[in-house]
Structures are given as C-alpha cells and as structure tokens.
Amino acid sequence: MSTPAWVEHAIWWQIYPLGFVGAFPADRRPEAGEHRLRRIVEWFDHAIALGASGIALGPIFASRTHGYDTTDHYRVDPRLGDDADFDFVVAEARGRGLRVLLDGVFNHVGPDFPRNNETWFRDYTFEGHGDLTTLNHDNPEVAEYVAEVMAYWLGRGADGWRLDAAYAVPPRFWASVLPRVRDRHPDAWFVGELIHGDYAAMVDEGGFDSVTQYELWKAIWSSLNDGNFYELDWALQRHNAFVQRFAPLTFIGNHDVTRIASRLENSAHVAQALVLQMTVGGVPSVYAGDELGFRGVKEERFGGDDAVRPEFGSPPLPLDEHGAQVWALHQYLIGLRRRHPWLVGASTTTLRLDNRHYVYQTHRGDDALIVALNIDESPLETTVPRAQVIAGSGVPPEDVVDTLVVEPHGWRILRLS
C-alpha cells in the first residue's frame, strides 16, 4: 500500500453540506428541485483563494436528519439535490483543480435504511443513539456492499473517503474492504475517523492511508489554554512516530467540535494554533468558517451541533477587522505550507520547552524551519540556530539572527540559513 502522490500537496477545506446550504436544520424540508448542493460551487473560488487544494464534504447521501443516519448510500440526499447536481459539483471542482473527499458512514445506518435481511444488522444501537443501527461487519455481504458503494462514487469522480466512526468498526472489516476498492481506484485516499486508541496499529490493521489526529487537536488548544506546552510536546513526540508511517489528517476545527475561536480563552492564540497546524507533519484540513473567524460552541444536547454547522450565504461574506485579520493569516500560513510541501512528512525536534514558551525545529531531510511560540505576558528571548525570520506576529521579516526576541503572546517562523 502506498499513499497517492497527490496527497503530498493536499490541503482540505471542509464543509458540512446540509448545514452549509441550509438544508438541515430547516423549518421546511428542501426538495431536490432546489439543487442546493450546487450552492457550494459558489465558494470554490474562496477555497482556492484560501490556498486549499481540495473540498472535504460531509454527508451528502439520503438520510432522515443530519446525514449520519443514512437511508440510501447510492442516492444524493433529496434535500441537497440529485445525481446531476453531484456531477456538476465534481466537474466544477475538477475545472478548478480541486479534489473531492466524500464522507462515508458505514458503521451504522438510519431508521429508514431497508431492513430486508436482519443478518446485516447487530442488535444494538450506535453509542446510545436510538435511531442509529449498527451494521454487522462480520457479514461478507455488508463488506461487499460497502466496497461497491465506495467504488461507485469514486467512479463518479470522488478522490477519496473519510470513513466515519472508523474506530467503532473492527479493523479486519476495513482490511477486507479497502483493498477491493483500491484495486479499482488505486489513486484514491482513505482516512479513518479515530479519536482515541492506537492510531498506528489501526492504520496497519485496517489499511487506512490516514486517520484524524484528535490527539494533536486536543493538545494544541489545551496547552494554549492551560499554559502547559509540556502536553503539546508529548503529543508531538507521538505525532512524530505517526508521521514516520503515515500522514495524519490534522485540524484545529471540524464539524464535530467547538470552533477554535470559541475554544481558546485568549483570541490571540488562534494564530498560534494555526501556526502549529501548518508547520507540523500531516495533511491539513480547515473547517469552513474558521478562516473567517467564526465562533460556535458544540453542546451535548439535541441540536447541539447546529452552532458549529451554520448556513453560509453567497460569497463574499462581510468581515469585520478581526475576521479580515484571521483570513489574511490563514492565507499567509497556508501559502507558506504550499511553498514548503515537504512539511507533509516533517518531524519536530524541541529546542526550548517550558510551560509558556515552545521553540521547535520542524524538518524533513535537508529542509527545516524553526517555530517559536510565546504565550507569556513577558517577551521571550532565546538563542536559536542561525536563521532568517520569515514570518511572525506584528513584525516584518528580519535579517538572519541567532538571538530571537518574541513579544508576549507572539510567534515567529524562521528558515535555517
């Protein structure tokens, strides 16, 4: 198994289509004739201006409510549109050089999924959700069905799959399914949704190309909030081990979590979170709205996801000064990432570590950058290998230095000279 070459340059802009186009929640159930799925195409130029190379879609298949209660994996959700709308989206993405990642929910199905053969199902619900019935992954017919669904939509123009709740599915199921799909679509990419556990073992046993890096996501915001970079350093040590074997999907926001601007206690640290994501190994994903400074808190209740899955109108959205600054920062750091594609496989080495200061070298082969973060109320002064400052908070690029000063709650990126 080898990861497709195009993934080395992948940067995803992730959207949750049902919320993005106002199809769920909605006072009136939209009809297929409204062709709402096509509305996301209006935002493709925005994604390109951001620096993304692909669109990661949330669920688009027929379901009763939020998309994760699938009714028919072969049918576009009528609230979004129909097959022609999917083809239009793929063609428009292709015309702009954008890849398309689909969201596959193959651990469980919704209450309206056909129940013609009870051997396809287990006698329990998924994580206590009464409307979600777990599939029987020991049934060869289920494996064949999932493989055929995945191959069908790849044949229709998708480039890969995010596999929802992959952590809940036996790895042997994925090990059976994914090779069948790869035989027909060798250039496809598969990322499993994992939260806890042994990521590397799951990749080895299940055969994924990548997994969602929740460990790093948590360490980034938690270390910034708590003033505890030791937590981040520990997570990056583990991340280094992962990067040696696969490129994890990195993120500081997605459709299932509180937005980073609301999660962080100090708004200045949004920049530091993004600097971290864009300078460590992995395949970055930016959740739509985060690049505009959106806020939103996920709550554990019915409708608790709605605040982080809002409807988007037509672009461009009006931005206040803060939103404009967040947008510019995303453009710059993603641009830096694209100019240094080797970062997808980069490892980090700690140069300075204490609770509120973190300086590390990110490197792959002969390529290297130095990143300095300061979340203290006082300036950070530190000695670094001789390097040129190429980016930072509130300062233009500087000459080559070997002593670095970073203002309170500031950051710097340097290129080794």
Q: Residue 158 has which token pair?
A: 């998708």
Distances (CA, A) of 205 to 171, 200, 202, 413: 6, 9, 5, 37
| In contact, 17 and 23? CB cutoff 8 Å | yes
Structure token digits, residue 153: 């939509």
Nearest to 337 by CA among 52, 13, 5: 52
b/e for 56-93, b at 16 or more Cβ within 10 A?
A: bbbbbbbbeebbbbbbbbeebbbbbbbeebbebbbebb
Give the pLDDT of residue 1. 59
Nearest to 103 by CA among 70, 149, 57, 134: 57
- HSE-up (13 A, CA, CB side) for residue 404: 35
Q: What is the mean pLDDT of the chain?
A: 96
The predicted pLDDT at position 125 comes to 73
pTM of the predicted structure, to 2 decimals? 0.97
Contact 153/83 with Cβ under 8 angstroms? no
Spatial distance between the Cα atoms of 395 and 278, rounded to a whole number of angstroms? 19
Q: How remote is the C-alpha of 196 from its chain's centroid?
A: 16
Candidates 103, 110, 102; CA nearest to 135 is 110
Place of tokens 């908070």: 393
DSSP annotation of 387 = E
Distance CA 216, CA 222 (A): 10
> Residue for token digits 């999907």?
249
Residue 247 near residue 6 (C-beta atoms within 8 A):
no
pLDDT of residue 399: 80
Helix (H) or strand (E) holding 272: helix 269-279
Tokens 């599939």 belong to 135
pLDDT of residue 3: 85
pLDDT digits (tens, 9 = 90+) for 24-66: 999 999 999 999 999 999 999 999 999 999 999 999 999 999 9
C-alpha angle 2-166-195 in degrees, rounded to nearest 5: 100
Q: How many beta carbons lie within 10 A of that of residue 4, not counting itself?
A: 17
Closest CA to 282 of 233, 196, 210, 222: 210
What residue ranges of the chain have pLDDT lower than 70?
A: 1, 128-129
Q: Look up residue 229 and give its amino acid.
A: F
Give the three-class secondary structure for 317: coil
CA atoms within a 13 Å half-sphere pointing along the CA-CB vector of 232: 29
Angle at 195 between CA 107 and CA 99, to 5 degrees: 70
pLDDT at 2: 74
CA separation for the pair 417, 404 (Å, rounded): 14
* The predicted structure's pLDDT at residue 124: 77
Residue-wise pLDDT for 143-192, tens only, equals 999 999 999 999 999 999 999 999 999 999 999 999 999 999 999 999 99
Cα-only R_g, the chain: 22
Domains, the chain, with CATH or none: 5-345 (3.20.20.80), 349-416 (2.60.40.1180)
